Amino acid sequence: MPNRPRLTRPPRILIASDQNHALSDVVRSLGRRGYSVLRVFAQASVLERARTARPDVIVLDAALGQDPALDLSRTLRADPSIGSGTPMLLLVPTRPSREDHRTALRAGVWELVRQPLDVAELLGRLDRYVLVKVERDGVSRRDLVDDVTGLYSTHGLARRAGELILQAARHNTSVACVAVAPDRDGPEGGADGLDGLRGVARLLEASGRRSDAIGRIGPAQFAVVAAGVNRVGARQLANRLRDSVGVGLRAGYDAVGSRRAGALDARSLLARAARALEMAKLEGKWVKEARD
């Protein structure tokens, strides 16, 4: 594995599939690269194995078990020992449609991998995903979470946004960021004080999808990063946030299509949405789209 950071243990790949022959080359190649490969052959055992092993990447086979694989991926994502930061791939038998990608993205799947497998390509992807996971694990929770609101800090949101951008590129879809702030000059008042900030944070968190990343990016500014959302969807998201929070909000947003998502820098996306928010304030508008 190229450019592997110094680890105290071999990186772990959990493969949940009962296909021995189809995956034999992958398992052997991973072993030669120094990976620890953990196999699960029954769908009912995946969650418990993932909890105990804490893998760096999870590979699920869509054909494993009778229940839909995306139900399993949602269950894994909901477990705090796995969460959103563990890359998860889903092996599928046919070419996925746009709707397949959209549904998988919202279920927490980072990438759909079509069978038969291209072993070399898959190994390259796994190498990259392990690096993403190891880098995240090397950052303390204190650096990722805002201690006032419990949401992502600016640093944490940028890191999570980078993961969502990577997922958007793999699913050939767009990614958007909506920055919001309570309008202290509005008729309904603002969110002064820590209690007000925490209240806004709770409402924003309650209104978001599980696949969204929500963080505090300034003294009273927040941002939501959402994969699979284009410019129209970003404005709709801003409307939903305003309705959910129930206080006057200003909003700015930016969205990038699938062609640019792969080369997008997370901090740049956050900064453009934040600048659009400031322009909305200056121009007396409630929402503003980022412009080049």
132, 150 contact by CB (below 8 A) = no
Question: pLDDT-based confidence at 113, cuts 50/70/90?
Answer: very high
Residue 118 pairs in a beta bridge with none
Q: How confident is the model at residue 177 (pLDDT cuts 50, 70, 90)?
A: very high
Per-residue confidence band for 187, with pLDDT thresholds at 50, 70 and 90: very low
Q: Could you give the CA distance from residue 249 to residue 243 in angstroms, rounded to a whole number?
A: 9
Distances (CA, A) of 9 to 4, 98, 195, 226: 12, 38, 43, 33
Note the pTM of the prediction, 2 decimals. Answer: 0.89
Cα–Cα distance, 113 to 152 (Å, whole number): 30
Q: What pLDDT score was predicted for residue 137?
A: 85
- Give yes or no for a contact between 109 and 89, defined as CB atoms under 8 angstroms apart: yes
Give the span between the Cα atoms of 185 and 123, in whole angstroms.
54
Per-residue pLDDT tens over the stretch 235-289: 999 999 999 887 788 999 999 987 776 677 899 999 999 999 999 999 999 999 9
Q: Which residues are CB-neighbours of 139 under 8 A, at least 6 positions away? A: 155, 159
pLDDT tens-place string over residues 192-212: 578 888 999 999 999 888 899
Percent of the chain with pLDDT over 70: 93
Contact 90, 111 (CB under 8 A): yes
Whether pLDDT at 1 is above 60: no
